[in-house]
């Protein structure tokens, strides 16, 4: 990863990114069981072939996503919200699969062990291969109670007390479990379930209540030019108007920052696919990805591959609103209250 001193920040005025879409966009883009993790794995493999300090890590995450794909394809039925529970969550505009409240089925730990076994059987190369195997084996030997504690912390969006090395693998198992529930229930995916939810003001996932990972500006069909916020856990994307902070919903002064080589002249500059959407009100940012500039972009994969942008935004005293379960930092987004907005990230 290049040092931040070798990069500069370019600020784009909001007028340059006003939505071009017309008509009424779909409220949601739902995850597809057959393609969710398969597409993520393929994109991570693509990104891993590009030069960079985290290419090896992207390759490992590509294998993990492939293991997720195989696990999701062959899961039994699990307990789901009944009609009464769905009606209650719909009436109050609450997430039907709330990550903090849903009683997790023990199958999620079986999914975790399936992912670990897949990776342990894979041919790992490089200097860190043995260290990775030792880590995977250590996670396999974690007591069930400890795994549940780790899962609680991850689902709360907190890194306090979280085993950061083990978190991507535990998080991956939870992603499979939640995607399985969401893909298994047409009732949860029905628009009627969210009539009391103002998606344009929804700063966390309307389905599971989790933090977002990024937002996507799509370039296909009736969604061309529309922005969707991508959940870090269940994989759903929900519509939110552009030029709006995804944390405090502030609109005035929202700016878009990107990395570029300082040697590139302004006339030769091409806006990258991944930008940081920054808010002057709450001093937070969330990456936004434009698929017209990168048609194969995938929310989790491309957010992860642009870690250098996180480094630069942190140096600019912006706090990240959101989480990528495939790579956690020591800073804790849940510690930022209204009173501490704007504090320098630790």
**Cβ distance 250 to 279 under 8 Å?**
yes
- Contact in structure between 293 and 324 (CB atoms under 8 Å): no
Both tokens assigned to 138: 């250590």
pLDDT in tens, 24-33: 789 999 999 9
Domain 4-25+197-332 falls in which CATH fold?
Answer: FdhE-like fold (3.90.1670)
Cβ proximity of 208 and 188 under 8 Å: no
Angle at 211 between CA 182 and CA 228, to 5 degrees: 70
Within 13 A of 256's CA, how many CA atoms are on the CB side? Answer: 20
Residue 13 in this model has a pLDDT that exceeds 50: no
- Give residue 316's pLDDT: 85
- Residues ≥6 apart with Cβ < 8 Å to 88: 94
pLDDT digits (tens, 9 = 90+) for 161-215: 899 999 999 999 999 999 999 999 999 999 999 999 999 999 999 999 999 999 9
The predicted pLDDT at position 222 comes to: 67
Residue 226 and residue 323: Cα distance in Å, rounded?
Answer: 22
Are residues 326 and 300 in contact, defined by beta-carbon separation less than 8 angstroms? yes
Least confident of 5-19, 140-154, 203-217, 266-280: 5-19
Domains 4-25+197-332 and 34-191 share a fold: yes
Return the pLDDT at 340: 26
Report domain extents, the chain: 4-25+197-332, 34-191
Find, among 257, 235, 232, 258, the residue nearest to 333 by Cα. Answer: 232
When the candidates are 1.20.140.10, 3.40.630.30, 3.90.1670.10, 2.30.30.830, the CATH number that belongs to 34-191 is: 3.90.1670.10
What is the value of pTM for the model shown? Answer: 0.87
Q: How far is CA 293 from the centre of its chain?
A: 20
pLDDT digits over 280-295, tens only?
A: 999 999 999 999 999 9
- Summarised one tens digit per residue, pLDDT across range 97-134 is 999 999 999 999 999 999 999 999 998 877 789 999 99
């Amino acid at each position: 990863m290049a040092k931040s001193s070798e990069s500069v920040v370019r600020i784009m005025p909001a007028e340059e990114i006003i939505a071009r879409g017309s008509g009424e966009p779909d409220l949601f883009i739902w995850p597809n069981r057959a393609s969710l993790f398969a597409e993520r794995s393929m994109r991570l493999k693509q990104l891993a072939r590009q030069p960079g300090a985290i290419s090896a890590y992207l390759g490992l995450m590509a294998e993990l996503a492939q293991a997720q794909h195989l696990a999701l394809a062959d899961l039994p039925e699990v307990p789901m919200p009944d009609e009464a529970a769905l009606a209650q969550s719909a009436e109050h505009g609450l997430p039907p699969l709330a990550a903090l409240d849903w009683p997790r089925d023990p199958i999620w730990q079986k999914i975790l062990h399936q992912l670990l076994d897949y990776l342990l059987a894979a041919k790992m190369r490089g200097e860190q291969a043995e260290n990775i195997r030792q880590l995977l084996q250590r996670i396999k030997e974690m007591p069930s109670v400890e795994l549940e504690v780790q899962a609680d912390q991850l689902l709360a969006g907190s890194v306090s007390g979280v085993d950061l090395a083990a978190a991507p693998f535990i998080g991956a198992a939870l992603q499979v479990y939640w995607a399985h529930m969401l893909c298994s229930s047409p009732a949860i995916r029905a628009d009627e379930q969210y009539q009391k939810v103002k998606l344009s003001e929804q700063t966390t996932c309307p389905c599971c209540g989790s933090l977002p990972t990024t937002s996507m500006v799509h370039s296909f069909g009736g969604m061309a030019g529309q922005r969707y916020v991508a959940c870090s856990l269940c994989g759903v994307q929900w519509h939110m108007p552009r030029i709006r902070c995804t944390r405090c919903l502030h609109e005035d002064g929202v700016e878009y920052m990107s990395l570029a080589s300082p040697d590139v002249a302004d006339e030769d500059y091409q806006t990258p696919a991944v930008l940081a959407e920054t808010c002057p009100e709450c001093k937070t940012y969330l990456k936004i990805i434009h698929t017209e500039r990168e048609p194969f972009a995938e929310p989790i994969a491309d957010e992860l591959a642009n870690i250098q942008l996180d480094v630069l935004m942190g140096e600019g005293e912006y706090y990240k609103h959101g989480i990528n379960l495939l790579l956690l930092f020591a800073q804790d987004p849940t510690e930022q209250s209204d009173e501490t907005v704007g504090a320098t990230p630790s």
